[in-house]
Structure 1
Amino acid sequence: MHDLICRAQQGLHLSPAKKASGPDGTEAVKKILGSASASAIAVGVAELRNRGYGTGHGPAGPRSGLSSRHAHLAANAAVTWCELILETLTDPRAPWRGTPSS
């Protein structure tokens, strides 16, 4: 999953390490992209799921320790990244398209 996420961000010029034009290339945007790292979000969500807090590979008994605020944190972080990717994919002026269209 990590490799797929990295390839998606690099392909859309959303990798914090990649030089992008316009606002996407500013230090401020790069800081936000770095802190909202999709691979970190995916790993965190997977760990919650697989370590007994979710309904994945955990025990069959009741879950404890996490509350709805933790679920909201995980879900909203994932939604934020997915929205960024989808909006960048459809943006006619996004840097990955090469020259901006009018």
Structure 2
Amino acid sequence: MASDFIPEYKGVNTSLLEGDLVQFNVAMTNALSTQDVEDYAECAAAQYTLIRGYGFARHVRTNVAQQGGIWRGDAVYTISPSLPRGIKTIDAEVVAANCAERGIPTV
């Protein structure tokens, strides 16, 4: 069925861990792969970064698991006003706009 492949986003829980370190727990159904879950977490991180008045984030890690048809992601990002060091950085404004175009909800 075609509806089996339409992602259903079940929500985001955000926790400030320490300083600029933020955890995003996301849940969804009908993900095609772990990448869909990772994208959802990245979209949440981008919007959260903007809400906090920052422009950039750096991906630290994402763990993805599936159980009973529900995919869950546990992602951690650092947020900062300037481009952080590292290779897995995101420009929050660009990523949030891309998420909106793709129909992926944010925080």
Instruction: Identify the TM-score tier after normalising by the shorter chain.
Output: 0.3 to 0.5
Name the one with the larger strand percent. Answer: 2
What TM-score does the superposition give when structure 1 sets the normalisation length? 0.36
Q: If you compute each CA radius of gyration, which structure gives the higher value, 1 or 2?
A: 1
Name the one with the larger helix percent. Answer: 1
